[in-house]
Each structure stands twice: as structure tokens, then as C-alpha cells.
A and B are shown apart, each in its own frame.
Chain A
Amino acid sequence: MPKQIAIYGKGGIGKSSTASNVAAACADEGYRVTIIGCDPKSDSSITLLSGRRIPTIMDLMREGMDIKEEDIVFNGYKGVKCVEIGGPEPGIGCAGRGIIVAISLLKKISKAIEDTDLVIYDVPGDIVCGGFVAPVKKGLVNEAYVLTSGEYMPLYAANNICKGLSRLEMTLNGVICNSRGAPNEENIVSEFAKEIGSQLLAFIPKDVLVQTCEREGFSVIEKAPASNISGVYRKLARSIMTRNEGKIPVPLDDIRLRELTKI
């Protein structure tokens, strides 16, 4: 059975960048990787496809297509299989239902989430309704990671996600800090991780190289493989692939959370 992971965190905190760089780093090491973008924005896999946008499952469904595997699963960097679920225009229809329908369709018509070593679900920042936890509820995710910076709002979101995970009895396998340059950031996130019963897996420093490569449509792993930041992603990727243990997180109360951001 492949390792099936989901990366959670506040919107805009860098989930897609982290997911695509981890995917690329794992592919470099010879793993077969599948990445499923669950955000209606459908930008999870774009840097693995040299900046190309692929049709989303929801795009095809809206047009009433008879959908086959080759219409929705695309080979990206070093054979990483890329799928984008997509969704309706903002303010219309039901994106959550879209995820439920897309996930069951994908299961039915493709082996991309079975015949592989790692499946990464890049889920939207806000789990606003039942559909957004469909991959977890349908038993397609067995490890969860939370991405946060050391600022209050991203930590607040991370803590909320932990509430959701504990309600779903889903284990948390690690916290990743994507630095925004806040003071004492590594300590704050490390302490947060410890207190919720997990640990800090990686500290990703703020590096403009990530954005530069993304603008051109690439991951840093592909475009700047020798850079320091690539090294950080590789280390994170190795740690995800080799570790297994996770614990159901114990969320903090808001007072403690505020205190933490002041240490």
C-alpha cells in the first residue's frame, strides 16, 4: 500500500509549493509519486508540469465528458502523476461535492492512487465543509502533515486543523514550518508541535528562489537542484518517506496559543 499523505495548513502558507517540491524530491530518489490537487484553484501540480495547466476532473465533468484515465492523469517531472480536481467558479455550486465525486471517479477509472509509492493530497487551506475531508473519510489518506509559520494566524489555523484531525481520529505525522521570517519562528513552531503531541519535521527558510522558480513554472528541485533550499526539501522528503509513526493531535486552547507566539 502506498504512503498516502495530506498536507494541511492556512491558505497561502505554501502548501502547494511544499507538496510539489516534496513530490519532485521523492521522484528524484526513484519513488513513484502521485499528486492530487484538491483545491478549486487547481495549482498544485503546475510547477511539476513546466508551468502547463492540465484540464481538471471538474472541467471535464461540467462539459459532460465521458472521462477516461488519460484525460485527467498527466505525467510531470520524472514521471510524477499529476491530477487536478478543480471545482466550480467561486460562489457557484458546491466545491465540496465536487471533491467527493472526483475522488470516487478517480478510484474507479485510475490506478494512480494505488500503483504508486506516495500519494500527496494537496487540500485547500480551509476545510469548509464535509467534501473537503472526503479523501480522509474515504480512507485514502493515512498520514497528515500540518504546514505553518510562526505567526499567530497560521498557527491558529494549524491548531484548528488539529481539532478536525482529532475529531476524525486521524493521526498527525509531523509539523512543517514554512518560515515567513517571524522572530524566534523555529522555536515557536517546534514548541507548538511538541505541545500538540507531534514534532517539527522541517524548518523551511524563506527563500526567494522558490518564487522565482515557480514564476517560470518549475519546482526548485528541478530548476535549482543544487540550492540550499532544495536540500531542505530533500531532507523533508526523506523524512516523510522513512517515518511512519503518528499520533492523534491534542489541540491547544486559544490562550496557550497566543502565549506561544510571544516566546
Chain B
Amino acid sequence: MPVKKEKEPLIMHPRPSSIVAALYTLRDLDTDVVILHGPPGCSFKHARLLEEDGMRVVTTSLDESGFVFGGHDALVEVLEKVIERFNPKRIGIVGTCASMIIGEELHEAVTEVQPDVPVIEVEVHAGYRDNTKGVIMALESALACGIISEAEFERQKALLKEATMVEKRHGAASKEYLEPSRGDLKYKVAERLLELIKQGKKGLNILNAKKETAFMFADINLAVAEVAEKLGKSSNIINMANLDENVGLPKNRRNAREILDDLQKKDMEIHHIIGGLDEYPVAGNNASQIIGEKYPDFDFAVITGVPHALPMDNIKNMELFSITNGPRQVVPLKEMGHKHVVVEIDLHPKTLGVNHIVESEFGATLREMAKNA
């Protein structure tokens, strides 16, 4: 007899949707232009954000007539237009709910137009509970086009599975509904952190950020290192970061290198590389192991990015300062035992289209307060 799948009711949107997740994946694969095949209003916000990041995102603008009569001609037309206007080296075509429900075949338009550059077709809609499904579908197509290797595909798939688990355990998918919160006041938290550093307490300074968000999260870790240096306590601080430049999709490797270069210029030494920029779901485990072996008696830890991916086992006796960009991450982090939780509002948009570290509010607060310390 078939087994009934256990499904908790889902009333909070996955963040982002699986369509948007596919778009970001195509960006990481250095796709030049993506055509969203569907209504003009679909995923507009992220389409615009990705344009900031250098990838063109256009739409076939299906309307009522398109829903009824099909959108094949529109897709052919937009595909031709995109080739002419942008001269892309790599194109993506991504489905939407509307086009997938009416049974549009993305491949038919590609067959008709016959572009001489690779086209990654992703027949995705937003009806998946786990947005990682959109990533996997995009990677499957990239694998079929020969753009990524089987090994990279398997690696990504394992990471995504873990990312989904991280969100379900302690993240934004851990409860039926989570109240958004702005977290603790930045100057109060900065005050306490400075106090600990000044007292000569031993601290861990950990960056475990998701992809490009590291451009701003790293600024916080950098600020911690700078103020410790200023107070003559830098030997008490151990820096860890998921900035391995040798793993991941092209963009992630590039970004890791750019951030490392910036940190080096500011004389910040990373004592432990705990993974790559796409390894945030597992890099926390690496950090945890290192902490267990070398730093179990430290007094405090600053964790930026995805703090909830760090298992509590080896840090539960430390005073925890976590910095997230998810207002819905505050409650779960507090429940895990993080004493101070700071939210960097609107962090993600500020990390698109950049190749240097971007100043954070918490970093700026720390630096400013350290002036009088």
C-alpha cells in the first residue's frame, strides 16, 4: 500500500521561491541573460536585484491571451531579441507557474531558434516547499549542457540537502510561523562585545555566510579584528571564515578570493578556513570540530551570516553574538541560546554587484564606539 507523506501546513513563503532560487543559481554559473517565461509581474523584485548584479533578466510577458493560446511565439521572439541585443555567451530560460501549468515546452523555442551558445532550460515553478528544488533543477540542466561536472553536481546536491535541513532545524523553516524581529539594539550589543574584548576575554570571530552576503558579513568580522587590534588584544581572537577559494561555482570562488584580498589588505589573518562560500550548511560543523579540539574554553563567539548552522555542542558555554540578515531568524537563534542577536536589515541587496567588502551597520557601530574605548 502507498504511504501517506507527512506534510506540515505551510503558510510562510519559502525564502526565496524556487523560481528565484533557480535565477540565483544561473547567476552563479555566470549566465549572461535569463528569460523568465511567464507573466511580466513574476519575480520582478529579484529580477531587478540580479540586474544590479550584472545578469540580465527579461520576461516573455505572457498575458491572458498567452495563457490561453500558449507562449511559444513570445518565447521565440524574446530569445531572438536577447541574442541580438545582448550578444550573450550563456543564456538561461526559466519557467514560471503560469507557463508550466499550461504545459509550455521551453526546449521547443530553443530548437526553433538554434542559438550558437549554450542555453540552460529550467522547467521550474514556485510550487515547491523547499526552494532548493529550484537550485537542483537549474544545476541538472547545467549538467545536461556540460557546464558543470557530475562531481560538482553531486557536491552541490549534498550541500543543498544539508541547507534545507539547517533551515528546518533552526532556521526560517523551523516553525509554522515566525514573527519578524529587528533583534537587539546594535550599540548595546557592541558595548558588551567591546567590554569583553577589553577585559582580555578569549573570543572566536567566525564568518559563516551564504555566498555574496559575505561581502557585508565579513565587514563585521573585520571590525571585530580591528577593534581587538586597537585595544591590543588581537592575540585573544581567533578568526575563522568560509572563504575557501577553491570550491564552488565560478562566482562563489571569485567572491571568496575578493573578500580574502580585502581582509589581507587590512592585515586580518584568517586562522582557519572552514569551507567555501556555498558550504555554509556544513562549514559550521567544521568550525565546531575545530572549536572542540582547540578552543573549547573560549569566553565568547561572534558568528556572522548563518549562525544557526553552527552546532551548539561546543559553544553553548560561550557568550554568543550572532549577526543575521533574516528578521525571522531572531527568534530561532534566541531559542538556540544565542544571547545577542543583531539583524543587518536589507543586507542582501547591498551585496549585489559588488566585488569589495561593504560596510555594515554593526561594523560601523563597533568601530565608532571603539574610538572612545
* Per-position 1/0 for B104-119, Cβ under 8 A of A: 1100100000000000
Q: Which residues of A sit under 8 angstroms from B104, Cβ to Cβ?
A: 130
**Which among B70, B105, B108 has the highest number of chain A CB atoms within 10 Å?**
B105
Q: Which residues of A sit under 8 angstroms from B1, Cβ to Cβ?
A: 71
Q: Which of A60, A64, A94, A137 contacts B108 (CB 8 A)?
A: A137
Q: Contacts A130-B70, A137-B108 known; A97 to B101 CB distance under 8 Å? A: yes
Whether A134 contacts B103 by the Cβ 8 Å rule is: yes
Residues of B within 8 A of A (CB): 1-5, 7, 70, 100-105, 108
Q: Which of B7, B102, B108 contacts A96 (CB 8 A)?
A: B102
Chain A residues 122-140 with CB under 8 Å of chain B are: 129-131, 133-134, 137-138
Q: Contacts A130-B70, A137-B108 known; A96 to B103 CB distance under 8 Å? A: yes
Whether A66 contacts B4 by the Cβ 8 Å rule is: yes
Q: Which residues of A sit under 8 angstroms from B101, Cβ to Cβ?
A: 94, 96-97
Whether B102 contacts A60 by the Cβ 8 Å rule is: no
**Main SS of the interface on chain B?**
loop
Whether A65 contacts B103 by the Cβ 8 Å rule is: no
Whether B102 contacts A66 by the Cβ 8 Å rule is: no
Nearest residue, chain A, Cβ from B105: A137
Whether B7 contacts A97 by the Cβ 8 Å rule is: no
Tally of contact residues, A, Cβ under 8 A? 19
**Which among B101, B103, B105, B108 has the highest number of chain A CB atoms within 10 Å?**
B103
Whether A97 contacts B103 by the Cβ 8 Å rule is: yes
Whether B103 contacts A63 by the Cβ 8 Å rule is: no
Q: Taking the complex as formed, is A194 at the interface, i.e. its CB lies under 8 A from any CB of chain B?
A: no
Q: Which residues of B sit under 8 angstroms from A215, Cβ to Cβ?
A: none
Whether A63 contacts B4 by the Cβ 8 Å rule is: yes
CA distance A100 to B7 in the complex (A): 23
Whether A64 contacts B7 by the Cβ 8 Å rule is: yes
Nearest residue, chain B, Cβ from A131: B103
Q: Taking the complex as formed, is A182 at the interface, i.e. its CB lies under 8 A from any CB of chain B?
A: no
7 more contacts with CB within 8 A, not counting A94-B101, A96-B102, are A67-B2, A130-B102, A131-B103, A133-B103, A134-B103, A137-B103, A137-B105
Q: Which residues of A sit under 8 angstroms from B5, Cβ to Cβ?
A: 64-66
Q: Taking the complex as formed, is A107 at the interface, i.e. its CB lies under 8 A from any CB of chain B?
A: no
Q: Which residues of A sit under 8 angstroms from B103, Cβ to Cβ?
A: 96-97, 100, 129-131, 133-134, 137
Q: Which residues of A sit under 8 angstroms from B108, Cβ to Cβ?
A: 137
Q: Which residues of B sit under 8 angstroms from A133, Cβ to Cβ?
A: 103
Q: Contacts A94-B101, A96-B103 known; A64 to B4 CB distance under 8 Å? A: yes
Q: Taking the complex as formed, is A52 at the interface, i.e. its CB lies under 8 A from any CB of chain B?
A: no
CA distance A68 to B5 in the complex (A): 12
Whether A129 contacts B102 by the Cβ 8 Å rule is: yes
Query: What would be 9 A-B contacts, judged by CB atoms less than 8 Å apart?
Result: A60-B2, A64-B4, A64-B7, A65-B3, A66-B3, A66-B4, A97-B101, A129-B103, A131-B102
Least Cβ–Cβ distance between B131 and chain A, in angstroms: 19
Nearest residue, chain A, Cβ from B99: A130
* Per-position 1/0 for A44-87, Cβ under 8 A of B: 00000000000000001001111110010000000000000000
CA distance A207 to B282 in the complex (A): 69
